Amino acid sequence: QQKVQQSPESLSVPEGGMASFNCTSSDRNFQYFWWYRQHSGEGPKALMSIFSDGDKKEGRFTAHLNKASLHVSLHIRDSQPSDSALYFCAASERGNYQLIWGSGTKLIIKP
């Protein structure tokens, strides 16, 4: 079983709408969580990190972490066509060099 599971596999949202992604880990040693975004033809790029329980907001993006349930989510409000991309959740143990990656969610923003 993958240690980091993402859902949904794909998502279609109208322009201006809210996009939401979920990620659940099976390893209680994971302390750090990241969201990365990958546009077609590019490498993944970090969107935001979250290390503490609760919400973290950066512009239109809000991440939420619940360490008790090992669940992290990402919400994009006022979605734009440029948000169409592949979104990855990644997790790591504190002090560990390796990121463990989810399988990704493909987001399509419909004009």
Binding site for other proteins (CB under 8 A): 32, 34, 41-46, 49, 88, 92, 94-99, 101-104
Residue 11 or 99: the one with the smaller Cβ distance to other proteins is 99
User: How would you list the strands of the sheet with 71-76, edge to edge?
Assistant: 4-7, 19-25, 71-76, 61-66, 54-58
C-beta atoms surrounding 59 within 10 Å: 9
CB of 33 to other proteins, least distance (A): 12
Residue 28 or 45: the one with the smaller Cβ distance to other proteins is 45
d(CA 37, CA 52): 21
CB of 46 to other proteins, least distance (A): 4
Residue 94 or 111: the one with the smaller Cβ distance to other proteins is 94
CB of 58 to other proteins, least distance (A): 13
Residue 3 or 75: the one with the smaller Cβ distance to other proteins is 3
- List C-alpha distances in Å: 75 to 11, 27, 28, 69, 93: 12, 23, 23, 18, 24
